Every structure is written in C-alpha cells, then in structure tokens.
Amino acid sequence: MHIPPRVLTVAGSDSGGGAGIQADLKTMLALGTHGMSVLTAVTAQNSLGVQGAWDLPAEAVRAQFRSVVDDIGAQAVKTGMLSSAELVETVAELLAGLRVPVVVDPVGVSKHGDALLAATALDAVRGVLLPTATVATPNLDEVAQLTGVRVEEEADMRRAAGAILDFGPRWALIKGGHLTAGRGSGDSAVDLLTDGTEEHWLRAPRHDNRHTHGTGCTLASALAAQLAKGDTVPQAAAAAKAYVTGALAAGFRLGAGIGPVDHGWRWRGAH
C-alpha cells in the first residue's frame, strides 16, 4: 500500500476556489501528496474580490490542528491567511511543537487589494510566526508591510530578504512577480531564495495572462509538498517555481474579474 506524503495547510477558505485552502489542497494533490487542512477563516470571495471574511475561534483552529497532527501526522506544514493577532499566536504556538518543515506565507492582501491581515497582527507575525518558518514566502507588498523595505528593482530583493531573515525564518523566498518588467528583471519573473549565505535566483518567463488568482498560495503549497517529499529547500523552491509557472500560463477566465491559475495544468496537458 502506497501512502503519499502528508501536508497540512493552515489557512482561510476561498469560496471561489482559486486561492486559500482550496488552492492549497489542489496543489498538494497535483504534486502527489495528501493534503489536510486547518481552517482559520471563511471568506465570501469571487473573481471580483472579497465580499466578507469571518475568523474561526482560536479554540476551533487548535482543535483541528490537534486532531490531524496527533492522529495522522504531517511531513510538512504550510500557513496562509491568519488575520488576527490571536490566530497568529495560536498557530505559532502549535507549530513550535513540530519537527517538520514549515512554510509561512504571510498573507497580507488579496489579489484584488482586499486586506486579509489586521494591522494589529503584524507584530505577532514578526515576533512569533516568522521564527517558526523553515521558509517564509512574502511577495513585495508583504515585504513592505512587514519590514518597510520597498523593492523597486531586482537589486533591492537582497535587502528585502535580509530584512525578512532578521525575524528568524531559516530561509526567505522573496517573490518578485510584482516587480515591473524592465526594472532589472527583463521580461522574466524573478524570485530570490536565500538563507543569508546561499543565494538562488529563480527565473521564469512572464506570461501575458491576467488570470493569476492564487499564485502565492499555490507557490507556498507546492514548496511544502516538495519538502514533504524530501527535497532540500533549494530543490523544493525550484520545483515549486516550475509548477506555478505552468499554472500561471494556463490560468483561465472565471466570472467577471480575475480568474485562477490552473492547478491541474499538468493533468490536462497529459489528457
């Protein structure tokens, strides 16, 4: 009997299915792992934006986590939307007891610009959540929100990574997808993975496709899935980048706004 590697996502629900828990579980399945979930929030969300969001009680988050970890276990954990200081502190406390890779995606805003992290929770993210991370995966807006460092060109990404590493994660993966083409990145989407000593610049072609909802969740989940399969952090980041690049290229229209990346692009290509 083959038992796939187990990956746990601790994140919010996206009712439109493009990001959040839904994107995480699709990604984990696509990469050959068994995804499990701890729901932290429910959103009313579609291709146009987030119409409402409701946090779950901390005790519900704690109970879900213990139910999964104490019985099934996990070989990697990924965190996403943790919108309040109480939820950040609760999840950080739970993660501190684990001895498996943890990918922290410090979700700040949605693709549509909707705030998903209370300003009062920022100190908790910096002080207790990021120190639990094997890899932290902020985009450029989240870097600015957490550190005040604004990345205007590719050369600034090294300084951004250093500011994130100062909060305690072992590795920082600075996602440069929002970097304007021509600011040192040419026509490629570039990310920087570093532990402060090693540097890995991950490049992929930019795709002219506006349907990019869920890219951050998908990358972090792909990274966690690869770590659960035994990859090193640099190997996992490269594989996650390749998967997300394909999903971005195949992103499709859904509703009247921004559609999702295609988590099943490899399967569809094979059929």
Catalytic machinery residues: 175, 212, 214-217
Give the bridge partners for 104, in sequence order: 79, 136
Cβ atoms of 27 and 218 closer than 8 Å: yes
Q: Residue 113: what are its φ and ψ, rounded to 5°?
A: 90, 10
Cβ atoms of 11 and 81 closer than 8 Å: yes
The DSSP annotation for 159-189 comes to: HHHHHHHTTS-SEEEEE-TTSPTTSSSTTEE
What's the order of all strands across the beta sheet hosting 188-194?
49-55, 34-46, 6-14, 76-79, 102-104, 135-136, 171-175, 188-194, 199-205
Question: In b/e form, how buried is each residue of 255-264, taking b as 16+ CB within 10 angstroms?
Answer: eebbbbbbbe
Angle between helices 233-249 and 215-228 (to 10 degrees): 140
Q: What is the CA radius of gyration of the chain?
A: 17
Longest Cα separation, the chain? 51
Q: From CA 241, how far away is CA 227, in angstroms rounded?
A: 13
Return the residue matching tokens 């639990």. 132
